[in-house]
Amino acid sequence: MNPSLYINLLKDTLSFSLWPEPPRPIGLARSTVSKSFVKRYIVPRVKSALDRLGMELAVKSTATREDRETGRIWPSYADTMVGRKRLDNIQFCVESVLKDNVPGDMIETGVWRGGSCILMRGILKAHDVTDRKVFVADSFEGLPPPTLEVDTHDIFYSHPYLAVSQENVAWNFKKYDLLDNQVVFIKGWFKDTLHLAPVDKLAVLRLDGDMYTSTMEALDPLYPKLSPGGFCIVDDYGNVEACKKAVTDYRARHNITEPIIDIDGAGVYWRKAF
């Protein structure tokens, strides 16, 4: 079988791009009635009534094809929110290091539902690669509250939607038949785990920590392990100024001059010089 057929289908499925974006369930907190009153009296009664009818309140998605391809929405059903263009980039990077025999494993720091890591593992399987691992690093509790001034505008830590348990991510690997001993979970805050991660060499390093601290806490211990010819991908570079600043500061401190290449206006990558 042509590996590209499987990989393309995997990308379509992970991104849910074969189907329309479904309506998003909504709560009644948008009501003009006070939130405390809604929470205490209205929501339980309405929810109970709708549950008995097998119904729920939802708002129709207005996401365009471009929104979905560039990962500009928080999807309801997809196992990744990065969009098709960034999935294509992951495929390009992984297949490039395989083709060029760049030594090392793959890691993503900040995985949400696991889609990017699932794609990495699927690409390895499609090419019958059995000697590389995919490291899945996340708190599995969402993002930490900001501790630096540069991150004070970040409110992602307050969104339960971004907290996906390790058990749920593992199930997502399993439903694609990709959960095996080549998948290694690293659970905990990056400051506590990544410098101790059982990683010797990396061929692909993908950062999706949103914040300055999360980005720097991944770059500091992991970038030195990136092999020459390996790829560093930064998911939030074009969307989050604090993330961009962390990358800029790190590159300046370590005299990294390889050109940064835009993916879709949000994600970027560069290849470490051979």
Give the pLDDT confidence of 224-262 residue by residue, as tens digits.
999 999 999 999 999 999 999 999 999 999 999 999 999
Give the pLDDT confidence of 27-57 residue by residue, as tens digits.
543 344 445 655 666 767 777 888 888 887 7
| pLDDT value of position 229 | 98
| pLDDT value of position 23 | 86
- Three-point CA angle 216, 221, 223, nearest 5°: 80
My answer on whether 92 and 182 are in the same domain is yes
- Judge whether residue 268 has pLDDT over 90: yes
Beta strand pairing call for 226-234 and 202-207: parallel
Any alpha helices (H) in 35-139, and if so which ranges?
35-37, 43-53, 65-69, 84-99, 115-126
My answer on whether 110 and 202 are in the same domain is yes
My answer on whether 182 and 113 are in the same domain is yes
Instruction: Indicate whether 133 belongs to any domain.
Output: yes
My answer on whether 139 and 46 are in the same domain is no
CA distance 149 to 254: 23
- Classify the C-alpha dihedral 110-132-183-19 as positive or negative: positive
Instruction: Indicate whether 172 belongs to any domain.
Output: yes
Instruction: Indicate whether 175 belongs to any domain.
Output: yes
Q: In this prediction, what percent of the chain has a pLDDT beyond 90? A: 72
Domain of 88, CATH number, reads: 3.40.50.150
Instruction: Indicate whether 146 belongs to any domain.
Output: yes
My answer on whether 147 and 52 are in the same domain is no
Give the pLDDT confidence of 60-98 residue by residue, as tens digits.
888 898 888 888 888 989 999 999 999 999 999 999 999
DSSP state of 117: H
| pLDDT value of position 167 | 98
Q: How many CB atoms are closer than 10 A to CB 18?
A: 8
My answer on whether 88 and 54 are in the same domain is no
My answer on whether 215 and 109 are in the same domain is yes
- Judge whether residue 190 has pLDDT over 50: yes
Instruction: Indicate whether 199 belongs to any domain.
Output: yes
My answer on whether 216 and 115 are in the same domain is yes
Q: Report residue 116's pLDDT band, with 50, 70 and 90 as the boundaries.
A: very high
My answer on whether 124 and 197 are in the same domain is yes
pTM score, two decimals? 0.90
Residue 51 structural domain: 24-59
